[in-house]
Amino acid sequence: MSDARDKLLNYINGELLTDPTRRASADTPLFEDGWIDSLKILKLIAFVELMTGRNIPDEEVVMKNFRTVTTIAEHFGSKP
Amino acid sequence: MTQLARLQEWVPSGREAVLGPHMLALIDWVDSKFVELASKARAHALPVPSLIERSILERAGYFESFPGSTVEQSDGGCMPPAVCYHCYAKLAATSLQEPGAWTCVARCRRNEDNKEPGRLRAFTMREIVFVGSAAWVRERRQEWMDRILGFAQSLQLAVQLDVATDSFFAGGEARGRKLLQQMKGLKFELRARMDAEGTPLAISSFNLHETFFSHRFGFRLEDGTDANSGCVAFGLERWALALAVTLGPNEAFRLVE
């Protein structure tokens, strides 16, 4: 899980967040204060799909699974 | 609905319907109830024209949000796809001294690819728009959800509130908007159960826009912070249809007396 979490943090801070003053930690709420917009959410989903090797249906894109890097890693990192 | 057609009160005609006098009176009655509720909530009545300038829809991002959707144009402007756009145009480039609410009503038109009974191309929409801080707007939306759920149940409608997304979002970035809408619970719909099979009809929606429209139209709070907005929308023909189908025409039409 920590491997998935590290990959996600590297991607989000290195590629996704274009504002250099913003750096996410594992428990930063990603969907507050405009951190993730409508383009970035698609990029984030594509990255998680690439990381896990499976498609993510829209029904799984809910706050419970995507609130923070930790929750994404916990939900998707442990699934084949 | 068969009974309503037989009574000449709701006669489907393509993607529209021809309504009889009792249905029209029921629409007026249900709207009067929303006006009462809006007045109690200190919403300002905002008279609006029947057409809307295309430039307002462009500024509101309508064609980006709903790519592929078309609006009907005539000499004086477009048929509005929703009435609340008038409100954001009215607030453009202002600084609000305090949070506020406005209500307006208009005939609207959408070319939706949805054959759900009751989803007409041309319909009447009343909306209540509220503008203030994020927390204030969220609280108002919750109040309105509770208020309208109670109102619907008092009329014996079998209703439920569900998280929803705009059904006519297309692909590309619009999918991202739809997913954000779903994830953040920005849209709820009040759905009435229309038959024994549980066929739902969305009769109201309760929406948070965050700062989308205030950025587009340049309205802020007096302290300089970004204004948030939200709205409640009532599809008046759908409310009347849900009442007439659920209660039966006779009982529903007696509400007006």
Q: How many contacts (CB atoms, under 8 Å) link A and B? A: 38
Give residue B68's pLDDT: 65
* Closest chain B CA to residue A57: B179
Q: Which of B180, B185, B210 sits opposite A41 (nearest CB)?
A: B180
Pseudo-torsion of CA A15, A21, A25, A30, nearest 10°?
-70
Nearest residue to B237 (alpha-carbon basis) of B204, B193, B197: B204
Identify the residue among B167, B173, B179 best suited for mutation to test binding to A, counting A beta carbons within 10 A and taking the highest: B179
Secondary structure of chain B as H, E, C letters? CHHHHHCCCEEEECCEEEECHHHHHHHHHHHHHHHHHHHHCCCEECCCCCCECHHHHHHCCHHHHCCCCCCCEECCEECCCCCCHHHHHHHCCCEECCCEEEEEEEEEECCCCCCCCCCCCEEEEEEEEEEECHHHHHHHHHHHHHHHHHHHHHCCCCEEEEECCCCCCCCCHHHHHHHHHHHCCCEEEEEEECCCCCCEEEEEEEEEEECHHHHHHCCEECCCCECEEEEEEEEHHHHHHHHHHHHCHHHHHHCCC
pLDDT tens for B16-46 read 899 999 999 999 999 999 999 999 999 999 9
Domains detected in chain B: 46-235 (3.30.930.10)
Got the DSSP string for A1-65?
-HHHHHHHHHHIIIII---TT----TT--TTSTTSS-HHHHHHHHHHHHHHHTS---GGG-SHHH
Pseudo-torsion of CA B171, B174, B178, B181, nearest 10°?
170
The verdict on a CB contact (< 8 Å) between B183 and A61 is: yes
The identity of residue A27, as a single letter, is D
Please state the pTM of the whole predicted model.
0.88
The verdict on a CB contact (< 8 Å) between B184 and A63 is: yes
Collect all residues of chain B within an 8 Å Cβ-Cβ radius of residue A31.
180, 183-184
Q: For residue B223, give every residue at least 6 positions away whose Cβ sits within 8 Å of its Cβ, in sequence order, or none.
A: none
Q: Which of B175, B183, B210 sits opposite A62 (nearest CB)?
A: B183
Rounded to a whole number, what is the distance in Å from the CA of B96 to chain A's nearest CA?
A: 21
pLDDT tens for A25-64 read 999 999 887 788 888 999 999 999 999 998 999 989 999 9
The verdict on a CB contact (< 8 Å) between A42 and B184 is: no
Rounded to a whole number, what is the distance in Å from the CA of A15 to chain B's nearest CA?
A: 17
Rounded to a whole number, what is the distance in Å from the CA of B165 to chain A's nearest CA?
A: 11
The verdict on a CB contact (< 8 Å) between B179 and A41 is: yes
pLDDT tens for B50-75 read 999 999 998 988 887 776 667 777 77
Collect all residues of chain B within an 8 Å Cβ-Cβ radius of residue A38.
173-174, 176-177, 179-180
Collect all residues of chain B within an 8 Å Cβ-Cβ radius of residue A67.
none
Collect all residues of chain B within an 8 Å Cβ-Cβ radius of residue A36.
180
Collect all residues of chain A within an 8 Å Cβ-Cβ radius of residue B173.
38-39, 42
- Per-residue pLDDT, averaged over B176-194, amounts to 91
- Asked whether the predicted pLDDT for residue B176 surpasses 70, the reply is yes
The verdict on a CB contact (< 8 Å) between B178 and A58 is: yes
Give residue B226's pLDDT: 84
Place of tokens 């959800």: B145
Identify the residue among B166, B182, B183 best suited for mutation to test binding to A, counting A beta carbons within 10 A and taking the highest: B183
Structure tokens at B121: 């191309």
Rounded to a whole number, what is the distance in Å from the CA of B55 to chain A's nearest CA?
A: 23
CB B26 within 8 A of CB B256: yes
Domains detected in chain A: 2-77 (1.10.1200.10)
Distance CA A16, CA A14 (A): 6
Q: For residue A70, give every residue at least 6 positions away whose Cβ sits within 8 Å of its Cβ, in sequence order, or none.
A: A5, A26, A27
Structure tokens at B206: 């309760």
- Higher-confidence residue of B145 and B118: namely B145
Collect all residues of chain B within an 8 Å Cβ-Cβ radius of residue A62.
182-183
- Per-residue pLDDT, averaged over B213-230, amounts to 92
Distance CA B138, CA B156 (A): 27
Contact residues of B toward A, CB < 8 A: 173-180, 182-185, 210
Flag whether the ipTM exceeds 0.90: no
Work out the number of other CB atoms within 10 angstroms of the CB of residue B85: 26
pLDDT tens for B141-172 read 999 999 999 999 999 999 999 998 876 555 67
The verdict on a CB contact (< 8 Å) between B180 and A36 is: yes
